[in-house]
Amino acid sequence: MAFNFNADEIFKMAEEIEQNGAAFYKEASKNVSDERYKKLLSDLASMELDHYRTFSSMHSSLSDKEKEPTVFDPMNESVMYLKALADTQVFYKKQLDTASIKSILLNAIGMEKDSIVFYVGIKDLVPEKLGKNKIDNIIDEEKKHIRLLANELTALK
């Protein structure tokens, strides 16, 4: 089955990814003893929740046209597909090297990059008339996380 996602479905996935990201950072913060980095990871979890709220707000501002299904999908397969992608491709649970804050930051940068690649790829599935341009807002938010993480990684050296 070919999927053609609308902006409504993409924002649902973005919200899921941000919730997964918050959970990742919260869990990673439990694995470090240095209070400075515990705070950094907790702050990143909070930022993910802020991104969730941003995307949720953007989602609620979509027009009815942008929320229209693009294919006949009575079993909600496209939404289940998106949820599976969000849960397994970006900020998914895996064995994380928490031996050092450096390895946590490197893993986080990789996952943030994965989220951008995911959004860029999924953006191609959203027709212009259904809000394709709004996906760029998601990508811009994720780039901010990479800059913050990269600055922290550089400061370690």
Distance separating alpha carbons of residues 83 and 11, to the nearest angstrom:
11
Tell me: the pLDDT tens digits for 21-73?
888 899 889 888 889 999 999 999 998 899 898 888 877 877 776 666 655 56
Q: What are the φ/ψ torsions at residue 152 (nearest 5 degrees)?
A: -65, -40
DSSP category for residue 31:
T
How confident is the model at residue 60, as a pLDDT?
82
> Domain 7-90+97-156 in CATH: superfamily?
Ferritin, core subunit, four-helix bundle (1.20.1260.10)
Distance separating alpha carbons of residues 63 and 7, to the nearest angstrom:
10
Residue 87 has pLDDT above 80, yes or no: no
How confident is the model at residue 1, as a pLDDT?
44
* pTM for the structure as a whole: 0.75
- 77, two tokens: 């397969």
